[in-house]
Amino acid sequence: MTVKQVMVVGAGQMGAGIALVFARSGYQVQLYDNNKEALERGKQYIENIFNKDIAKGKMETDSKREAMERLQVVGELDEKPLTADFIIEAVVENLEVKQEVFRKLDKLAPEHTIFATNTSSLPITEIAAVTKRAEQFIGMHFMNPVPVMKLVEIIRGLETSEATYQTVKDLTEALGKQDVEVKDFPGFVSNRVLMPMINEAVYTVFEGIASIEDVDQVMKLGMNHPMGPLQLADFIGLDTCLSIMEILYDGFGDSKYRPCPLLRQYVQAGRLGKKTGRGFYTYSD
């Protein structure tokens, strides 16, 4: 299927990034969020990235204008009839919230529309099951920050058709990204490997083994990681990290995935990382 129009549901750090890469690659994009401020922040984020690209000589002013013209923000889902050929969801990492979003989209979207979720860890099959189009449903997992990171994990649900898979694989290529196909198991590959490492880093702080800065330093200087695990956790969002650990813990029923109590406490305190200005570190902008 040829995709011309795309809708992105959720304008947070991932949704805004996904909308940006589609608009930059020539697609008509609608960006929707049920929070007006988040929608405004999402649009501003896109504009800022384009401005930085212009300053670095990576983008022409005309290309920015054209990309921004292709981008439309939508404050209400049923404002107008949905026309997108492809809808990707990037709302919070919560099964019930995602299922509710897709129940609604299933009623409003044209029959041919393909649905994708950017979930980091939830079962694709279980989200798809609330729609009447499980064969047109897939996991398309972008990495953070979306404009920079090359990888997209593509995850087929139990009923995902070959045609849907092929369309999403082609879309990934059209965005200049590289795909890896993984099975529908909790955390897929990326977060099954990454998140226990982050959780373990939080445990080392919780148990007083080293300071936040020193844990990050060990992994940067000792393992050549570009960013320490606690800084990375702040970038991902501590609420998202906690949700993923809970999904791994529930999904495998294995105590090795038990979320660190300190991670839970930070989330309870509203210290969600960079997006709220404070997590393991403090951020001024």
Q: Which residues contact 201 (CB under 8 A, 6 or more apart)?
A: 215, 216, 219, 228, 229, 230, 233
Which residue(s) pair with 141 in the sheet?
153
Nearer to ligand NAD, 114 or 236 (CB): 236
Please give the biggest Cα pair distance in the chain. 56
141 is catalytic: yes
List 118, 191, 199, 243, catalytic entry: 191
Contact call for residue 155 and ligand NAD (CB under 6 A): no
User: Which residue's beta carbon is nearest to the bound ligand NAD?
Assistant: 12
Rule CB under 6 A: choose which of 3, 8, 15, 23 binds ligand NAD: 15
Contact call for residue 172 and ligand NAD (CB under 6 A): no
User: How does strand 71-74 pair with strand 86-89?
Assistant: unpaired
169 φ, ψ to 5°? -65, -45
Nearer to ligand NAD, 60 or 181 (CB): 181
51 is catalytic: no
Contact call for residue 282 and ligand NAD (CB under 6 A): no
List 89, 93, 120, 121, catalytic entry: 120
Q: Which stretch binds ligand NAD (CB under 6 A): 5-13, 78-86, 167-175, 207-215?
A: 5-13
Nearer to ligand NAD, 119 or 136 (CB): 119
In the sheet that holds 137-142, the strands lie side by side as 71-74, 28-32, 5-9, 86-89, 114-117, 137-142, 151-156, 178-182
What type of residue is 268? Q
Which residue(s) pair with 30 in the sheet?
7, 72
Residues 92-121 that bind ligand NAD (CB under 6 A): 92-93, 97, 101, 118-120
120 is catalytic: yes
92 φ, ψ to 5°? -55, 155
Rule CB under 6 A: choose which of 71, 91, 152, 267 binds ligand NAD: 91
Q: How far is the CB of 216 from ligand NAD (least distance, A)?
A: 17
Nearer to ligand NAD, 36 or 112 (CB): 36
Cβ-based neighbour number of residue 196 at 10 Å: 16
Q: Which stretch binds ligand NAD (CB under 6 A): 29-37, 54-62, 124-132, 219-227?
A: 29-37
Taking the C-alpha atoms of residue 39 and residue 73, their distance in angstroms, rounded to an integer, is: 7
Contact call for residue 29 and ligand NAD (CB under 6 A): no
Contact call for residue 125 and ligand NAD (CB under 6 A): no
Q: How far is the CB of 60 from ligand NAD (least distance, A)?
A: 28
**Site residues, ligand NAD (CB under 6 A):** 9-15, 33-35, 38, 90-93, 97, 101, 118-120, 141-142, 144, 236-237, 240, 275
Residues designated as active site = 120, 141, 153, 191
